[in-house]
Amino acid sequence: MPSHLPLKRANCADLKLIHSFWKALSPTELYMLSGTLYAHPLRLKQLRQDFRALQDPPEGIYCFYDSGQLSESGPQEIIPTGQAGPGGWKRPLVSRFWPLWRLSHPGSEGRGNVLGCFQIRKREASTAMLAAVFIRPEYRRMGHARMMLKAGFHEARRLGLSRLQLNVFSSNPAIDLYLSLGFRRAGSKKVQLPDGRTVIKVFMQIDLG
């Protein structure tokens, strides 16, 4: 994994941050992200319980950070100009109160800015599920998910996994990401989303070699 693209296991501060993103998701968005893993509205307590259950590597909640210099100066400096995305109005506030934010999120120092995250959930000896793949809205379409998952494959291999599986809905553009990374389709089934729509859930897997 290139050293400028750190992938680390989430800490408590990261967990609070992830919760702050996910609690705003609609029932359908949360379902698209994580299937039946979490109930809507997502409570921090539920995320913490899951975090504790995933403490033994290779299981875990993994976060993808930028270079790490950013935690010294605040997030505004690293957000590319012109990337007005959801939540953009919050950036000047977060930046102005960055020292306070850091105080209220102990453990965030020196780790950089969280761009996204994913989970590894073990199934069999050397097979695990890749779940809840997420990139913050303002950092999307810049290749971050691709970089994060490549780093994740490296880590999964290092930790003894040889196969990763995942579920994705056929309407989710993430499916193209997974195909381009080498995942292949291994089946599908019809499911109903919380908003009543019927969609196809696609099962995919990749052999890490």
- Applying CB under 6 A, the residues found at the interface with ligand COA are 32-33, 133-135, 140-146, 168, 172-174, 176-177, 180
Question: How many Cα atoms are found within 13 Å in the side-chain-facing hemisphere of 24?
Answer: 9
Q: Is residue 70 within a helix (H) or strand (E), and if so which, with residue range? A: helix 70-73
List the beta bridge partners of residue 65.
Answer: 114
Quote the least distance from Cβ 128 to ligand COA, whole Å. 15
- The backbone torsions φ and ψ at residue 200, rounded to the nearest 5 degrees and listed phi first, read -95, 125
Quote the least distance from Cβ 176 to ligand COA, whole Å. 4
**Residue (106 or 137) nearer to ligand COA, CB:** 137
Residue 80 burial (10 A CB sphere; 0-12, 13-18, 19+): exposed
CB crowding 125-138: b at 16 or more within 10 Å, else e = eeebbbbbbbbbeb
**Residue (11 or 28) nearer to ligand COA, CB:** 28
Residue 67 token pair: 């270079």
Quote the least distance from Cβ 109 to ligand COA, whole Å. 25
Quote the least distance from Cβ 15 to ligand COA, whole Å. 17
**Residue (13 or 117) nearer to ligand COA, CB:** 117
Quote the least distance from Cβ 107 to ligand COA, whole Å. 23
